[in-house]
Amino acid sequence: MLPVSIQVRQALAKLVLPALLLLSVGIMIGGQVEKPVADRARMYVADGLAPLWSLLAHGQNGAFEIVDGLREARHLAQENSRLQAENANLRRWYEVAISLARENDALKTELHWVPEPTPAFVTGRVVADSGGIYARAVLLVAGTQSGVQTGNIALAADGLAGRVTEVGAHAARILLITDIASRLPVLLESSHASAIMAGDNSPTPHLLYYPQDARPIEGERVVTGGQAGALPAGIPIGRVHYLHAGQPAVQPFAALDHLTMLRVFDFKPSEIEPPEAPGHVPLAHPRRPLALPFKTLLPPGQEG
Amino acid sequence: MPSPRHTSWDPDTEPQLTLRQRLDRAARHLLPTVFAILAIIIFSAPVGLPGAAELLPAIVLSTVFFWSVWRPSGMPPLNVFVLGLFMDLVGFTPLGVSAFILLLAHGTASYARFGLMRSNFLVVWCVFGLVGAGAAALQWTLACVFRLHSLDPAPAFFEALLCIGIYPLLSATSSWFLRFLDEKDTP
C-alpha cells in the first residue's frame, strides 16, 4: 500500500464514487459513439459465458426430464390397464381378421377368382424439393434406374401421397395431392359417391363435383376411384372434414408436411387392355396418343 | 463513511493474519458480488425463466441496496461498477446505463445508511421503493434518450413494481447471510 495519511485515504475513498459515476457516463457516451466496439465487447462476454449457459440449459433439460418421468410414473398403472384393455380388444380383432381372411380365401377359391397382380414397388428417401413448377412436390431418391416411371403412384406409410410427374436417372419428382395442379378422381366410401379431389396448396385438398343428392359425410373415408384408369381404385387417401358449411375437404392420412420415405408402386394399368369390340369407337386411352379410329375404315393405300 | 479496511491501515497493532484468515475475509467481502454475478448469469441464460429480463435488474438493485446499507465493505463502489457493466454487457441495455444507475443507488444508500439502519424495516422498504421507482424511471428516460423516441413506459412500471416486491424476500435471505457471517466473525 502507498504510504499516505489516513486523511488522504479517506478523501480518496470519497472520490471513488463520483469518479466511477463519471466513468460510467463516459462509457455510456463512448458506447453510443463507438457501437461496433460495444457490440464486440458484448459478443466477447457472451462467448465467455456460453459454456456456463449451455451447462445451465443442460441442467434444466435434465430437471424437466426427471419431472416428466415422475409424472409418467404416476400414471403408469392407469396407462398399463388401458393398454391391457386395448391389447385384449386388438387380439379379438386379430382373430376376427384372420377368420375373415380365411373365409375370403375360401370364397375366392370357390369362385375361381383371378388374382390381381401384386404391384411392384420401390422405396426411396424423400429429399426436399429444390423448386420446379409445383408448389407442393417432393424429390425422391429413386429414378429410372430403380424402375420408377412417370405416372406411378407414391404411397406414404398410411395413405396416398402423390404421383410421379418427372423422372431422372436417380431421382423422381412427386406431385403431392395437396398441390394446386393435382386433380384426382376419388370415391367416398360411406356415401358411395364419386368426386374429384382438387388440391389448393393448403394441407387439406377440397372435394369437387360430388353428387348433390349424396353429400359427403363428415369423417367418412376417401379412397381413390378407378375412373379413367389413372389410378387403381381403393387406395386410402384420407377423411372428409368440413372446414366450413358446404365446403368438404379431405384430411389426408399421410403426413404430407414431413415426409421421410415414400413407396412408389407401379400398378401397370396399361396391361389391362379391353378386348376389341367390332363397331365400338374406342375412347382415348389416358396414356396413349389418340389413334385415328377411322383409319381402319379406309381401304389400304388411301390414307394421307 | 468508515472504510472497511480501517483495521489493516496500522499493521503494528494488529496480529498478522494467516493466509486462511485472509482468504476467509476476502470470500466474505466478495460474497454479495459473487451472488449478484451468479444471479446475472443465471437470469440471462437462455433457459426461458418467466420474466427474467425484468427480474434481473430488480434482484441486482435490491442486492446492491441491501449490502450498501448494512455492510458497505461487501459492496464497495468498484464492485457495484463492475456488476453494472457486466449486466450491460450481458443484457441489451446501452453500455454503462446499469452501472450508472446502480452507482446512484449505491450512493443514495451509503448516504442514508445511518438513518436507515436505525429505522424500521417498513421505512427501509419505502425508501427502497423510491429508489427502485427512480431507477426504473431513469432507465426508461435514458433508453428514450438513446433511441431518440419515447418508448412504452409499461415495462418500466413492471420493473419498478417487481423491484419493490422482491426486496423483502432478498432482504430476508441477505439478513440470514449477514447473521451467519457475523456469527463467524465473533467466535
pLDDT one-digit tens code per residue, B114-157: 888 888 888 889 999 999 999 999 988 988 888 888 888 888 88
B84 closest CB neighbour out of A9, A24, A31: A24
Quote the pLDDT of residue A290: 46
Alpha-carbon span A1 to A9, nearest angstrom? 11
How many A×B Cβ pairs under 8 Å?
82
Would you call B77 and A25 a contact, using CB atoms and an 8 Å cutoff? Answer: no
Sites in chain B below the pLDDT cut of 50? 1-4, 187
Alpha-carbon span A21 to A160, nearest angstrom? 70
* Cα-based distances in Å from A149 to A183, A233, A261, B54: 19, 19, 17, 61
A304 domain-assigned: no
* Cα-based distances in Å from A42 to A22, A46, A48, B87: 21, 6, 10, 10
Which of A260, A255, A288, A254 lies closest to A274, judged by CA?
A: A288
Q: Mean pLDDT in each 10-residue stretch from start to end of chain A (304 residues)? A: 75 85 89 85 86 85 90 88 95 96 92 79 81 78 86 88 88 89 89 90 90 88 81 87 89 88 79 66 53 48 44
Would you call B107 and A46 a contact, using CB atoms and an 8 Å cutoff? Answer: no
Q: What CATH number corresponds to the domain at position A157?
A: 2.40.10.340
Quote the pLDDT of residue A289: 47
Whether A11 and chain B come into contact, CB under 8 Å, resolves to no
Helix H, strand E, coil C: the string for A119-173 is: CEEEEEEEECCCCCCCCCEEEECCCHHHCCCCCCEEECCCCEEEEEEEECCCCEE
* Cα-based distances in Å from A256 to A113, A159, A243, A269, B9: 36, 10, 18, 25, 78
Whether A290 and chain B come into contact, CB under 8 Å, resolves to no
A49 closest CB neighbour out of B1, B90, B106: B90
Alpha-carbon span B107 to B77, nearest angstrom? 8
B103 closest CB neighbour out of A21, A29, A30: A21
Quote the pLDDT of residue B186: 56
Quote the pLDDT of residue A302: 45
Chain A residues touching B47 at Cβ < 8 A:
53, 56-57, 60
Chain A residues touching B89 at Cβ < 8 A:
41-42, 45
Q: How far is B96 from chain A (nearest CA, A)?
A: 5
CA-derived radius of gyration, chain A: 35
A40 domain-assigned: no
Residue A295: all three cell numbers together: 383409319
A61 domain-assigned: no
Would you call A21 and B100 a contact, using CB atoms and an 8 Å cutoff? Answer: yes
| Coil/strand/helix, residue A24 | helix
Would you call B103 and A42 a contact, using CB atoms and an 8 Å cutoff? Answer: no
Helix H, strand E, coil C: the string for chain B is: CCCHHHHHHCCCCCCCCCHHHHHHHHHHHHHHHHHHHHHHHHHHCCCCCCCHHHHHHHHHHHHHHHHHHHCHHHCCHHHHHHHHHHHHHHCCCCCCHHHHHHHHHHHHHHHHHHHHHHCCHHHHHHHHHHHHHHHHHHHHHHHHHHHCCCCCCHHHHHHHHHHHHHHHHHHHHHHHHHHHHHHHHCC
Nearest CA in chain A to B97: A28
Would you call A10 and B3 a contact, using CB atoms and an 8 Å cutoff? Answer: yes
Quote the pLDDT of residue B13: 55
Would you call B77 and A17 a contact, using CB atoms and an 8 Å cutoff? Answer: yes
A283 domain-assigned: no
∠ Cα B32 B58 B144 (to 5°): 125
Whether A127 and chain B come into contact, CB under 8 Å, resolves to no
- Domain extent for A128: 119-269
Residue A100: all three cell numbers together: 375373415
Structural domains of chain A, count:
1
